[in-house]
Amino acid sequence: MTQEVRFSRMTPELRKTNLIEATLVCLKRDGFQGASIRKISAEAGVSVGLISHHYSGKDELVAEAYLAVTGRVMGLLRAAMEQAAPNARERLSAFFRGSFSAELLDPQLLDAWLVFWGAVKTAPAINQAHEHSYGEYRTIMRSALTDMAREEGWKQFDADLAAIGLSALLDGLWLESGLNPGTFTPAQGIQICEAWVDGLQSGGRQRFCLQTTGC
């Protein structure tokens, strides 16, 4: 039985997983510009026509891979937060620990992130996948920051703006880790994020007041 016949007999989810894994291999090996449907089909062991049956082109397949990877990341972060104490600060701390866990600092995953970020502006489908994943990621942080503001009694706190700032900090740390893993340790990455939240609690929250009302 050929690889393509076996592929066609897989469940839709398994077929999607197989193609996504092949796409990730090609992206990490060849970059976004170097990866092609032909190379992906060869990596998956199926014909170009079979891929074309499921996806309109490379951009849609890369966008699907992007969403699959971010879905795994969000699942790990949510699981970490669910196991933490119910107060907002502990959930944020769990979020940071998850962000710097071995699973999320896997060099192959970080390499995939770098490729995805570089491809975001190349096609609407990939940009849309980025906007969706970034929005979901920011929502997790905004929810925890909103809960912290309520628990701390902060008035007129702009949790969305604070979530943008915290997301930028984490993205920068992930990027630096991917480019130069020796810059800081995972424990130091967590320490930097905890210090950011410490700053909020010690008065830095005033930097995130709603513009229309002031503090």
The pLDDT tens digits for 120-147 are: 988 899 999 999 999 999 999 999 999 9
Question: Is residue 96 over pLDDT 70?
Answer: yes
The per-residue pLDDT of the chain, averaged, comes to 88
pLDDT at position 146: 95
What pTM was computed for the model? Answer: 0.84
90-108 mean pLDDT: 93
Digit-coded pLDDT (tens) for 164-206: 999 999 999 998 988 888 999 999 999 999 999 999 988 867 7
Digit-coded pLDDT (tens) for 60-81: 999 999 999 999 999 999 999 9
> Domain extents for the chain?
1-55, 59-208
85-119 residues labelled b (16+ CB within 10 A) or e (exposed): eeebbebbbbbbbbbbeeebbeeebbebbbbbeeb
- The domain 1-55 belongs to what CATH superfamily? Homeodomain-like (1.10.10.60)
- The domain 59-208 belongs to what CATH superfamily? Tetracycline Repressor, domain 2 (1.10.357.10)
Question: Is residue 3 over pLDDT 70?
Answer: no
The percentage of the chain sitting over the pLDDT mark of 70, rounded to a whole number, equals: 91
CB count in 10 Å sphere of residue 164: 16
